[in-house]
């Protein structure tokens, strides 16, 4: 993976490439796609950028208030902001977030009132989905986790309130999860049986968070800083979910998880660098 920082002098073709493929990112050059340049295949992968170069589908399905829907894909590896803007002549919600892992675990919300809001200009001008009520959530089809050991990687921001932002949860309430919860500026990775690892991460800012749920080797890494803990996960059937809490606003733009796999320290660091380079996290 090669990152070019904005302080370097770009050649004219490279600068044109950056403007063409990442119009909302100004001068940043896009890092390599996560599921090839950084880590291996995942159990599920959702993002407003392309995470696997072989992926030929869309990022999300947007729904206008007139009930018209449209699948929005990518320009290069980046979300097609222009197509979304042209379609969303009125407010749009997110009806589907497509799974880029190849495992067909799309996140879906068929009820319009429960669909997160599509936001073209979240922090740093990045697109995201915004959950402003406890009724805003997305779910995938039920499946059974293998052992309760798993890894998460998300990019999100809790901008209002101190309630729970479920960045990813593998099943119902209390199951394996990475979330912002437990008070102001607090994030956690936790298991459905017992325990968690918590870390302070300021609200109203993007964070790249990686969690490993693995007994006494449980880790929560946020923007490269780590906390450890002990957490036992659940190996049960559940419905993968992303959602918010009442009186809390949660913005999310990327979420991946790996069932029955504990990412290494090297992999966690690489994920954080890649997400920082793309989304502009701290």
222 lies in some domain: yes
Number of domains present in the structure of the chain: 1
Query: Which pLDDT does position 71 carry in this prediction?
Result: 98
- Using one digit for the tens of pLDDT, what is the confidence trace for 185-203? 999 999 888 999 999 999 9
9 lies in some domain: no
157 lies in some domain: yes
CATH number at residue 274: 2.60.120.200
80 lies in some domain: yes
41 lies in some domain: yes
Query: Which pLDDT does position 36 carry in this prediction?
Result: 87
- Considering the entire predicted model, what is its pTM? 0.89
What is the full per-residue pLDDT of the chain (282 aa) written as tens digits?
333 333 322 223 333 333 233 444 443 445 778 998 888 889 999 999 999 999 999 999 999 999 999 999 999 999 999 999 999 999 999 999 999 999 999 999 999 999 999 999 999 999 999 999 888 999 999 999 999 999 999 999 999 998 999 999 998 777 999 999 888 999 999 988 899 999 999 999 999 999 999 999 999 999 999 999 999 999 999 999 999 988 899 999 999 999 999 999 999 999 999 999 999 987
Residue found under tokens 């966690």? 268
Q: Which helix (H) or strand (E) holds 151?
A: strand 150-160
- Alpha carbons within 13 angstroms on the beta-carbon side of residue 244 total 26
- Look at residues 207, 230, 234 and name the one whose alpha carbon lies nearest to residue 219: 230
147 lies in some domain: yes
Domain with 197 in it: 36-279
CA distance 236 to 218: 19
149 lies in some domain: yes
Question: If you ran DSSP here, which 8-state letter would residue 35 be given?
Answer: H
139 lies in some domain: yes
CA distance 74 to 145: 31
């Amino acid at each position: 993976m090669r990152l070019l920082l904005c302080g370097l002098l770009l050649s004219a073709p490279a600068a044109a490439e950056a403007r063409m493929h990442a119009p909302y990112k100004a001068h940043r050059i896009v890092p390599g796609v996560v599921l090839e340049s950084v880590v291996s295949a995942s159990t599920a992968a959702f993002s407003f950028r392309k995470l696997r170069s072989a992926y030929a589908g869309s990022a999300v399905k947007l729904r206008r208030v007139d009930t018209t829907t449209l699948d929005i894909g990518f320009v290069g590896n980046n979300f097609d902001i222009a197509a979304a803007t042209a379609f969303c002549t009125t407010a749009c919600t997110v009806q589907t977030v497509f799974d880029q892992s190849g495992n067909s675990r799309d996140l879906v919300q068929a009820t319009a009132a429960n669909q997160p809001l599509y936001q073209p200009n979240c922090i740093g001008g990045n697109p995201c989905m915004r959950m402003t009520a406890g009724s805003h959530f997305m779910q995938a089809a039920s499946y059974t986790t293998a052992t309760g050991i798993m890894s998460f990687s998300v990019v999100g921001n809790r901008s209002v309130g101190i309630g729970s932002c479920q960045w990813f949860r593998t099943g119902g309430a209390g199951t394996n999860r990475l979330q912002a919860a437990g008070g102001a500026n607090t994030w956690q990775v936790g298991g459905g049986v017992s325990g968690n690892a918590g870390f302070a991460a300021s609200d109203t800012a993007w964070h790249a968070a990686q969690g490993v749920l693995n007994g006494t080797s449980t880790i929560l890494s946020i923007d490269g800083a780590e906390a450890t803990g002990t957490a036992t996960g659940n190996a049960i059937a559940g419905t993968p979910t992303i959602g918010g809490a009442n009186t809390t606003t949660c913005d999310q733009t990327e979420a991946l998880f790996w069932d029955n796999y504990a990412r290494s320290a090297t992999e966690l660091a690489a994920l954080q660098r890649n997400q920082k380079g793309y989304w502009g996290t701290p």
